Amino acid sequence: MRYWLALVFLRDFGFEIGRWTPISLDDVTKALNCTRRNAQLVIKRLVEESIIDWKSGVGRGNLPQLLLKESVNTTLIEQAKFWMNEGKADQALNLIRSKDRDQFIAEFVSQYQQQDNDQDILQIPFYRATHSLIPYEISRRTERHIADYLYANLLRFNRDTGQLEGDLAQTWVHTGDMLEVRLRKSLKFWDGSALTAFDVKAAYESIISSDSVSRGLFLLIDEFSVVDEYTLRIRSKRLSHYLPRLMAHGALSVCKLNSDGTIVGSGAFRLAEQTDYRTLLTASPHYHGYRPWLDGVEIWNMGLSANDFQMHCDIVHGSSAPDIADEFTQVQQWEEGCIYACLNSANNAWMKLAKHRRYIQQLLQSLPMNGVRDTMIYRRASGMTSLAPLTLGKAVDLSSINQVPLEVLTYQLPGHIEAAENITELLCQHGLDSNLTVLPYPEFDQVERQSKADIIVSGEVFGEHKESSWLGWLLCTNTVTASLNKQSKPWFEQQVFDNLAQSDESKRVQGYQRIERELIRKAIYIPLFQCAQDMRISHKVNAMDLLTNGWIDFNQVVFEGR
């Protein structure tokens, strides 16, 4: 690798071909991250290959001199392509200038997709790299969707029937606050090793020992014990009615970590590669369920050009529609959930007064509609699952101007940034000095950081099972947690736990909607916009609807004509 890093150094340092340039050997050793002796060996090889000439420095204070004899750029690109074909994306991209990487990936994916290939790989351009895929660390929908195919759970929710069904579980019996689960025989991880009840308990213990956003929900379990290698006993008084549903929760997906930190899962696909530029899933030969028709799924981080990239991809963003209408089918649907703002009363003294927060709520009702600087489709929302006009009650007169600027905080998602920018502008127009901070999602998704902001702009997308989605937002979202003060937090938790005690699921869902309305009334939260998914699916792929989360079901994808 030092040889290739040396070529990168020759390309980027500023050498002119055919001209002697003074250069310190220390600069070379720093670029190659090696000893002076190893740097000298690399220089010797470059001289032998007639890439450079080298003159040692003679006398005190005289630097060595280097003469570059030919351009090395083509050599670097060819080697990068070679490594990309071998699946060594990180090594390959180290050879490409940062400003050229998105274009290099686009060209590579394009030629790669045109090759005759015995394997059926679904190609998807995406606007960012994927974050951690360890189950209990996941809090974004894309990672959650990928994880659904990498890992198995005890139970799973069947979106067609609306009922739970066994995944790792062969049978289960729910009596009162107790759930007994019997596993299938001969379960295996990706690597062929046995999966037993002890591995399921280890997955539960990993959640409890972590700082996962889902940890609070699983702390409500009173007992999670192994009866034998096939049998588990789980008990929870507070979650007695919801307990079977909890066994389908994504955080409880079963995996194990190797000593080198790599993940070994139990789902239909295995994680073959995850870098800043590519996430590759390949079909697992040890999966206990039906094998997917796809041999793999390849998600490329195309950066900001992802929406425009369309060459030979199987799924593209709707903004590409004018150029590909004949080759792709348009699929649109409104998401359940919304972009929202939480108003933190515990950070800025001015925000402690409910009337001040209500004043901000009223201002936000006149917030410009998203979609001017963003290509998504929006409409106003009055709740996670409601579009009825939002009623805030009596108008509030602002009695005092805030002396300390408010911080509006969000993360790197175009729709959220546009909403946060509009909020900041609107507040400033009404005499409330405000500053906007935009963070990468992993930095944003920390209670400690969010609790220092005054207005937090985030979003939630509901899944197929409504109660799980409500609990995921209310109990497992750092934005909600960070916005509750010492008085509102006990009230909030009691409301949720009292609601969980109801035996009727439909009444529990109505109860969560009531809690949401109370959060609005207390000026802790305000819903803003509902988003629509607008995707184009290639005619090469069988017709299918979008899932509630805006993705398609990888297990159901078939390439037509093969």
Question: Could you give the angle at the alpha carbon of 468 between the alpha carbons of 464 and 469, nearest 5°?
Answer: 70
Pairwise CA distance, residues 252 & 214, whole Å: 9
Closest CA to 540 of 557, 560, 562: 560
- Which amino acid, residue 44? K
Tokens for 237, please give them: 């008084």
CA distance 132 to 531: 25
The residue behind tokens 């199987």 is 314
Q: Which two tokens stand for residue 289?
A: 């369920």
C-alpha distance from residue 289 to each of 175, 184, 263, 292 (Å): 27, 11, 20, 9
CB 361 within 8 A of CB 526: yes
Task: State pLDDT tens for residues 226-239.
Answer: 999 999 999 999 99
Who contacts 78 (Cβ-Cβ below 8 Å, separation ≥6)?
none
Closest CA to 131 of 463, 413, 405, 544: 413
C-beta neighbour count of 240 within 10 angstroms: 18
Round to whole Å and give the CA distance between 199 and 363.
51
Q: Which residue type does 428 have?
A: C
R_g over Cα of the chain:
28
Place of tokens 């649109």: 332
Q: What's the length of the chain?
A: 562
Residues in a beta bridge with 437: 409
Positions of the chain with pLDDT lower than 70, given as ranges: 106, 109-117, 302-312, 318-326, 372-375, 393, 395-400, 543, 561-562
| Spatial distance between the Cα atoms of 199 and 437, rounded to a whole number of angstroms | 41
Q: Cite the residue boundaries of each domain of the chain with CATH code 3.10.105.10.
A: 337-533
Burial (Cβ within 10 Å: 0-12, 13-18, ≥19) of residue 35? exposed
Residue range(s) occupied by CATH 3.40.190.10 in the chain? 152-264
Spatial contact of 344 and 505, defined as CB atoms under 8 Å apart: no
Sign of the dihedral defined by the CA atoms of residues 90, 94, 98, 101, in that order: negative
Query: CATH top-level class for 1-70?
Result: mainly alpha
The reply to whether CATH 3.10.105.10 applies to domain 337-533 is yes
CA distance 117 to 280: 16
* Segment holding 33, helix H or strand E: none
| 515/530 Cα distance (integer angstroms) | 19
What pLDDT, on a 0 to 100 scale, did the predictor assign at position 395?
Answer: 65
Q: What pLDDT is stored for residue 374 in this prediction?
A: 66
- For residues 419 and 414, give the distance between their C-alpha atoms in angstroms, rounded to a whole number: 9
What's the pLDDT score for residue 84? 82
Return residue ranges of the chain for CATH 1.10.10.10. Answer: 1-70
Task: For strands 121-126 and 296-301, give the pairing.
Answer: parallel
DSSP string, 208-250: HTS--TTHHHHTT-SEEEEEETTEEEEE-STTTTTHHHHTT-G
Distance CA 439, CA 418 (A): 14
CA distances from 238 to 220, 281, 476, 488 (A): 6, 38, 16, 20
pLDDT value of residue 115:
47
**pLDDT on residue 326:** 67
CATH of domain 152-264: 3.40.190.10
What's the DSSP call for residue 16?
A: P
From the list 339, 416, 348, the residue with the least C-alpha distance to 381 is 339
- Position 271 scores a pLDDT of 95
Tens digits of residue pLDDT in 72-90: 988 999 899 888 877 777 8
